[in-house]
Amino acid sequence: MAEVIIVPSADEAGALVADEIIALIAAKPSAVLGLATGSTPLPVYRALASRRDEMDLSSVSAFALDEYVGLPVTHAESYRSVITREVVEPLGLKPSRVHVPNGALETIEHAGEDYEAAIEEAGGIDLQILGIGTDGHIGFNEPGSSFASRTRVKTLTAQTRRDNARFFASEDEVPMHCITQGLGTIQSARHLVLLAFGSGKARAVAGAVEGPVTASLPGSALQLHRRATVIVDEEAAAELANADYYRHAYANKPSWQGL
Ligand code: F6R
């Protein structure tokens, strides 16, 4: 199962993940990062930006999890724009090494295959940052997504469109479709780091970590991964039955283990 780390704050989680990414890049200068968008990973990106001097990012590549279909990339809320604003510019990553699925309608039929090929060509993803939706989605793999799925077009649930309406002028403006790495794509990454903050995520986190492994809760796919780390604040940990054990295991974690 996943290692669960309960931290006092999102900033503390951001600092922990930044430590891990800095160590990864030091060990492997051509590391391939998997990037999530949304609110959850922002403390990681902020922590990394504040420690830019400690990393040589010139050979690092990155792949975003997902993109809206049919939203112009120039739109402020396209994930291409978000990744540029929140990650590429503050960290100084080379734009040509940062990939986002192509949500343009003209090429959408083969955009999934193209993205899979690009990930493979880069040598696969070393560390994939994940958030989780209130309905248990990871990437935009909504409940019912196949554990074997690769990058493809999905229809967003009404719940996800409601949740993401905060980034748009109204819920109607949230696109209906997205293109997302599949659960199979995510499972192929060498290390998964899922973050969740706030009470709104407590049920999805408990289901993902301790519930049955089921396509009805896509985050539960983490239980099948050989190296998955889940970092949550107290609110998001509130429904975990084994929270005391996770705290005990983390307090006694050998220092050489890293995340
Ligand atoms: C975004 C993504 C989604 C989000 C999830 C949580 O790239 O893959 O799975 O991580 O919708 O969103 P936030 O972090 O905004 O609560």
How far apart are the C-alpha atoms of 71 and 69, rounded to whole Å?
A: 6
Per-residue pLDDT band at 145 (split at 50, 70, 90)? very high
Give every strand in the sheet of 98-99, ordered side by side.
3-7, 228-233, 191-196, 127-130, 32-35, 61-64, 98-99
CATH code of the region 3-249? 3.40.50.1360
Q: How confident is the model at residue 258 (pLDDT cuts 50, 70, 90)?
A: confident
With a 6 A CB cut-off, is 80 part of the ligand 1 pocket?
Answer: no
What's the distance, CA 79 to chain centroid? 12
**Tokens linked to 32:** 């391939």
Q: What distance separates the 2 farthest-apart alpha carbons in the chain?
A: 53
Other Cβ atoms within 10 Å of 127 Cβ, number: 23
Q: Return the SS3 of 15.
A: helix
Q: What is the DSSP letter of 191?
A: E
Residue 257 has a pLDDT of 85
Q: How far is the CA of 38 from the centre of ligand 1 (A)?
A: 5
- Stretch 193-208: mean pLDDT: 98
The answer to whether residues 210 and 222 touch, using CB atoms and an 8 Å cutoff, is: no
pTM beyond 0.75? yes
- What are the boundaries of each domain within the chain? 3-249
pLDDT band at 256 (very low <50, low <70, confident <90, very high): confident
pLDDT in tens, 1-59: 789 999 999 999 999 999 999 999 999 999 999 999 999 999 999 999 999 999 999 99
Q: Is the pLDDT of residue 183 over 90?
A: yes
Share of the chain above pLDDT 70, in %: 100
Average pLDDT over residues 227-237: 98
**pLDDT single digits (tens) 100-139:** 999 999 999 999 999 999 999 999 999 999 999 999 999 9
Residue in 17, 33, 35, 40 to alter for ligand 1 test, most ligand atoms within 8 A of Cβ: 40
Cα–ligand 1 centroid distance for 254 (angstroms): 31
What number is the average pLDDT over the span 169-186? 97
